Amino acid sequence: MGEVVMPQMGESIVEGTITKWLKSTGDKIEKDEALFEISTDKVDSEVPAPDSGVIEAIFYPEGETVDINTVVAYIGDGSRLGQHGAPAQGATVAMPSAPTPAASAPEPSVPAPPPAATAAAVTEPAAAPPGRRIRSSPLVRRIAKEKGIDLALVGKGSGAGGRITKNDILAYVERQERAAVSAEPASPFPAAPESRFGDFEVEPLSAMRLSIAEHMVRTKRVSPHVSTVHQVDCTRIARLRDATKERFLQQQGVKLTYLPFFLQAAASALKAYPAVNASLDGKNLIKHSEINIGVAVALDWGLLVPVIRNADEKNVLGLQLAVNDLAVRARSKTIRPGEISQGTFSISNYGSYNSLLATPAINQPQVAILGIGSVAKAPVVINDAIAIRSISYLTLTFDHRVIDGATGDLFLEHMRGILENWSAPVL
């Protein structure tokens, strides 16, 4: 029995937000029973009690963001509490002092980028020398006054005798505005006061939704997204799944889905086309030897991408069990931060919600993501005859800085060849 501290939920995590206390002061609790829920910029999780006993003190309320290793509660034998959970007369539980931060390696020195104004000034015309008369029309002077512009900074105009024209000052204004925009990172949360009308309520975004928004804006800003779509005949794996799914459920206790078939085909394609199994670090391409595939899991409160490590070493059974395990623990908030990191490729299985086609966003810093549409029966032409087949559409979204269209198409063709000619057993 003793102190309960805010855990470190990953190497880069320095704080956590207490989103919900699952016990109150005076409640009994067993060791490893969930005590409170936390949210970090990587994962939402439940924190178990380190010991059995009675909750004698809770030091931080819900919604409070607390540094790691800070004492947030105290578990004792209940002797400090009265009959109604209040501290007993003469008994106190002192509020702990803030923890001494652990020594860490100094941050690498990174040269600061030049100010935007300096960068913009390089392309601006030379300012007018002191004392020189600035020739301009009343319209130009009015625009300059409205925009707060010193006409001396506009430089020599394009009009007769160096007169500053309307086009000159408007071009100057555009250059300045463009420089100001490029100097500030795009915010995923632009103000929208016009959205507040009629009857409404305001709900702050959770830490997870904030993290997702920043991640998605970053990936669209950084990576030139290109998507290619291939139709795949999944009839062979559909028949195999139908023939074995009941026995699979009885023996393994989980349902057999289409996802492990796609995972195994993707792992093979990643081996064949290693440029897709890579990440970008600035101007350096990081080619990964391991094949760690992240699978997006939809949660009621957001989205997580747990990672199946060494996916190429697992068969359909192993992949299905790994998918189920990670999904269950993601939804029960018991997944560990290390299980949602170090992915080399990602998959979005939107077909499980009957979506036929989508163009998923790349999961930075990876260079590609696979989207899987639903497997549904459709009429197709085979040998000049119409047949009913189980069809799915696969989308590969890739970073065009690294991958060209030919590589993307060959990757999906490799997958298609495996899926349409599947021969490996399931059990």
Enter the tokens of residue 45.
């999780």
Q: What is the DSSP letter of 94?
A: P
Element (H, E) at 265: helix 259-272
What is the C-alpha end-to-end distance of the chain, expressed in Å?
A: 47
List active site positions: 400, 404
Q: How many CA atoms lie within 13 A of 199 on its CB side?
A: 0
Q: CB–CB of 399/280 below 8 Å?
A: yes
Burial class (CB in 10 A: 0-12, 13-18, 19+), 75: buried
Rounded-to-integer distance, Cα 366 and Cα 277, Å: 8
In whole angstroms, how large is the CA radius of gyration of the chain? 30
Closest Cα to residue 294, out of 373, 348, 228?
Answer: 348
Q: Considering all CA atoms of the chain, what is the largest pairwise distance in Å, rounded to the nearest integer? A: 93
* CA distances (Å), origin 426, targets 250, 292, 309, 313: 14, 21, 20, 15
Q: Which amino acid is at 407?
A: T
Q: CB–CB of 246/77 below 8 Å?
A: no
Burial class (CB in 10 A: 0-12, 13-18, 19+), 81: buried
Q: Where are the beta strands (DSSP E) in 131-273?
A: 225-233
Rounded-to-integer distance, Cα 98 and Cα 15, Å: 13
List the beta bridge partners of residue 286.
279
Give phi and psi for 77, each to the nearest 5: -95, 5
Q: CB–CB of 54/75 below 8 Å?
A: yes
> Residues with Cβ < 8 Å from 140, sequence gap 6 or more?
151, 164, 165, 166, 168, 169
Q: CB–CB of 225/399 below 8 Å?
A: yes
